[in-house]
Amino acid sequence: MYLVAIAWAYVALMMAAAEALSPQGTLFGAFVTLMLYGVLPLGLLLYILGTPGRRRRRRAADASAQADAGGHAATGPAEGLAPEREEA
């Protein structure tokens, strides 16, 4: 996955360099080329392709949090019930 992203970034960078060094090209055009052909598509692609990994890490974190809790219910006063009175 990363090899394709690196290759795409290289091609987009070369396109931007060609735009900047062309006699009719401008630095603004090179910047727009780099953003629209490089940064935005790569960001979207890496975000979408990284979704399964993020989901897997979130499930693993939830599972370890439940294992650390010992599987017992939370303790403390139940909601809506009055606390017990101590008798003297």
- Domain positions in the chain: 2-52
How confident is the model at residue 43, as a pLDDT?
94
Q: Is the pLDDT of residue 9 over 90?
A: yes
17-35 pLDDT, tens digit per residue, is 999 999 999 999 999 999 9
Instruction: Assess contact for 35 and 43: CB atoms under 8 A.
Output: no
Q: Which pTM value belongs to this model?
A: 0.63
46-63 pLDDT, tens digit per residue, is 999 999 999 999 998 888
Work out the percent of the chain whose per-residue pLDDT is above 90.
Answer: 62
Instruction: Assess contact for 62 and 55: CB atoms under 8 A.
Output: no
Q: How far apart (Å, rounded) are the C-alpha atoms in residues 72 and 66?
A: 9
The residue among 73 and 2 whose pLDDT is bigger is 2
